[in-house]
Chain A
Amino acid sequence: MEANIAIPSDSKDTWSGGGNKPFGASYGKMMMWFFIVSDALTFSGFLAAYGLTRFKFIDSWPIADEVFTHIPFVHGNYPMIYVAFMTFVLIASSVTMVLAVDAGHQMKKNKVAWYMFATIIGGLIFVGSQAWEWNTFIKGSYGAVKTTDGKVLQFVKDGHQIALSDFVVGDRMDLRETNTRKNGLWFESGEAVPQYSVAQIMASYKADPSIQIRSEKMNLDLKQKIILSREKGASELANGKFVIEGANLRANEYGNTIFADFFFFITGFHGFHVLSGIIINIIIFFNVILGTYEKRGHYEMVEKVGLYWHFVDLVWVFVFTFFYLV
């Protein structure tokens, strides 16, 4: 009979696999590693799908440096700087986490607590930054016209993209305004009407010969968006369907709809991981302060949550590369 039993079950703590440690790793640590493998496969599934879509629309994909150009409190065009800051915050919080693990190996309770605290603060700064990034992305900064055949037309002057408010003048010509419960039908509030109408933009475009239209198509040799001639621009603009400012799941001013969809989905899924990591870190932090692990005799729990936290950092390294760099 003994031969059928893999693990002696006479000890009371069989939930954790008992005292047996295959590969010299405890049950909890090993399962954390295998969870990380499966989560890594989930993320790579998303990123590979993003890669497939990007290859499919290789000649019209938005250029990251033209989309993510903002930093808080400062006006101007600064691609990359803000995400670099976010990356740096996450790496730094990874370091404080590994320092907490290291202090745990030496049973230094206060040090573990302080490093955990620093890790949590780093995590909060990161999700806060991501919220700001999303907000900027959703609000948009230039505005564009979406055509009936699905193209996104942006406006440029002297080769630089300009906002609709920089050149659109006159009135809307279609008398539309956003219906609210106050001025629309009493039982419904309508969809928000953009500030400008397509007809108004068309008239302003015709009135100012220095404005040109940029299509979403890319010159693959120069890796820049193609700027249309005035006549071609006018004929494209004639197909204008609606004005889009910022981004949502149905349309965005940056280009392909699915670009924003992937951005929301992948950075959102990663942000959700960071959030849950922060919550787990807070729980472990209080356990450290209460002396739970001091009584237990080891700080392995800090090590396990540390693995998860480093994994979140690891994923961000890839998201950073494939969304912002490549």
Chain B
Amino acid sequence: MAHAQSHTKRIWNVFWILSAITIVEVVLGIYKPASLHLTSILGTSPLNWIFIILTLAKAYGITWAFMHMEGEKKWFRRSVVWTAVFLICYLVTLLLIEGGYLYETLAPLVKW
């Protein structure tokens, strides 16, 4: 790998993109426009969906560019990414369903 070509320009590009996303998140988080914040779509407010999608975009940028996942062999990449993504989706789905049940069904019957 000695004297490989430099990727400095791309690194700074990714940095500016990640910063811009963070700034958008912060501005939305401070002002919380009512049309996004107080309405509901697919179980939560559109604002929350925007935050989650932007977060995933940032995670993609960090993993692919900074951790250089884009340069790894296809099946090595998949052994890491697919494993994590599948298990996390599984866990989060079950726990959030359970949390909703605790609030809607159990809470009226139980005093915590």
Q: Taking beta carbons and an 8 Å cutoff, which residues of A are in contact with B?
A: 23-25, 30, 33-34, 36-37, 40-41, 44-45, 48-49, 51-59, 65, 79-81, 84, 87-88, 91-92, 94-95, 97-99, 101-102, 105-107, 150, 221-223, 297-298, 303, 306-307, 310-311, 313-314, 317-318, 320-321, 324-326
Task: Please name the residue on chain B nearest to A103 by beta carbon.
Answer: B6
Known: A44-B87, A56-B99. 5 other contacts (CB 8 A): A23-B75, A25-B72, A52-B96, A222-B38, A314-B62
Q: Could you name 23 residue pairs across A and B whose Cβ atoms are closer than 8 Å?
A: A23-B73, A33-B80, A48-B88, A51-B96, A52-B99, A54-B99, A56-B103, A81-B26, A84-B22, A94-B66, A95-B11, A95-B15, A97-B66, A99-B8, A107-B3, A298-B1, A310-B66, A311-B67, A313-B66, A314-B59, A318-B55, A325-B51, A326-B52
Q: How far is the CA of A81 from the CA of B91 in the complex (A)?
A: 32
Nearest CB on B from A178, distance (A):
31
Task: Please name the residue on chain A nearest to B72 by beta carbon.
Answer: A25
Nearest CB on A from B45, distance (A):
8
Is there contact, CB below 8 Å, between B66 and A105?
Answer: no
Nearest CB on B from A89, distance (A):
11
Residues 38-62 of B, flagged 1 when their CB comes within 8 A of A and 0 if not, give: 1000000000100110010011001
Is there contact, CB below 8 Å, between A51 and B99?
Answer: yes
CB-defined contacts of A324 to chain B, threshold 8 Å:
29
Is there contact, CB below 8 Å, between A45 and B75?
Answer: no
Q: How far is the CA of A107 from the CA of B3 in the complex (A)?
A: 7
Residues 3-16 of B, flagged 1 when their CB comes within 8 A of A and 0 if not, give: 11011100110010
Q: How far is the CA of A303 from the CA of B4 in the complex (A)?
A: 14
Interface residue tally of chain B, by bracket?
35 or more
Nearest CB on B from A19, distance (A):
16
Residues 70-102 of B, flagged 1 when their CB comes within 8 A of A and 0 if not, give: 001101100110011001100110011011101
Is there contact, CB below 8 Å, between B99 and A88?
Answer: no
Q: Taking beta carbons and an 8 Å cutoff, which residues of B are in contact with A?
A: 1-4, 6-8, 11-12, 15, 18-19, 22-23, 25-26, 29-30, 32, 37-38, 48, 51-52, 55, 58-59, 62-63, 65-68, 72-73, 75-76, 79-80, 83-84, 87-88, 91-92, 95-96, 98-100, 102-103, 107, 112
Q: How far is the CA of A71 from the CA of B95 in the complex (A)?
A: 34
Is there contact, CB below 8 Å, between A44 and B91?
Answer: yes
Nearest CB on B from A111, distance (A):
10
Determine chain B's interface SS by DSSP, over half rule: helix
Q: How far is the CA of A310 from the CA of B63 in the complex (A)?
A: 8
Query: A99, A317, A325: which contacts B11 (Cβ < 8 A)?
Result: A99
Is there contact, CB below 8 Å, between A80 and B26?
Answer: yes
Query: A51, A87, A88: which contacts B92 (Cβ < 8 A)?
Result: A51
Number of A-B contacts (CB under 8 A): 148
Q: How far is the CA of A91 from the CA of B58 in the complex (A)?
A: 10
Query: A51, A102, A105: which contacts B95 (Cβ < 8 A)?
Result: A51
Query: B3, B26, B51, B95: which contacts A48 (Cβ < 8 A)?
Result: B95
Nearest CB on B from A316, distance (A):
10
Check A91/B19 contact, CB under 8 A, given A55-B100, A56-B102. yes
Q: How far is the CA of A54 from the CA of B99 in the complex (A)?
A: 7
Is there contact, CB below 8 Å, between A298 and B2?
Answer: yes
Is there contact, CB below 8 Å, between A37 and B83?
Answer: yes
Query: B58, B62, B92: which contacts A44 (Cβ < 8 A)?
Result: B92
Q: How far is the CA of A320 from the CA of B30 in the complex (A)?
A: 14
Task: Please name the residue on chain A nearest to B98 by beta carbon.
Answer: A52
Is there contact, CB below 8 Å, between B1 and A91?
Answer: no
Is there contact, CB below 8 Å, between A88 and B22?
Answer: yes
Nearest CB on A from B94, distance (A):
8
CB-defined contacts of B51 to chain A, threshold 8 Å:
321, 325-326
Check A55/B102 contact, CB under 8 A, given A25-B73, A25-B76. yes
Query: A23, A44, A55, A306: which contacts B99 (Cβ < 8 A)?
Result: A55
Check A317/B76 contact, CB under 8 A, given A59-B103, A107-B2, A325-B51. no
Is there contact, CB below 8 Å, between B11 and A98?
Answer: yes
